[in-house]
């Protein structure tokens, strides 16, 4: 049985393969700070999600719109 992708994985997949990756900004936990970089840079820094897991992502923006927020998804669960 195939594991279904979660909302975050769907957003990342769409951004990488079907949309303009340069439109996306990722905020992630970096020790005690929140760092913000482009999605393309995040993929490079994380060695394709190996050194920085996607579980550290706290927010994703496309342009000025927040399309994923960890705090919102936890409230709705």
pLDDT tens readout for residues 35-66: 999 999 999 999 988 999 988 999 999 999 99
Q: What is the pLDDT of residue 5?
A: 65
Phi, psi of 8 (to 5 degrees): -65, -45
Q: What is the pLDDT of residue 74?
A: 46
* Cβ within 8 Å of residue 17, ≥6 positions away: none
Q: What is the pLDDT of residue 76?
A: 41
Residue 33: C-alpha distances to residues 20, 30, 38 (Å): 27, 5, 17
Do 69 and 23 touch, CB atoms closer than 8 A? Answer: no
Q: What is the pLDDT of residue 39?
A: 95
Pick from 69, 49, 53, 72: nearest CA to 61:
69
């Amino acid at each position: 049985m195939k594991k279904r992708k979660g909302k975050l994985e769907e957003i990342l997949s769409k951004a990488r393969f079907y949309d303009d990756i340069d439109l996306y900004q990722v905020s992630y936990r970096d020790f005690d700070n929140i760092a913000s970089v482009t999605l393309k840079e995040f993929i490079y820094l994380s060695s394709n999600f190996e050194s920085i897991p996607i579980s550290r992502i706290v927010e994703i923006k496309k342009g000025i719109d927040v399309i994923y927020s960890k705090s919102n998804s936890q409230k709705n669960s």
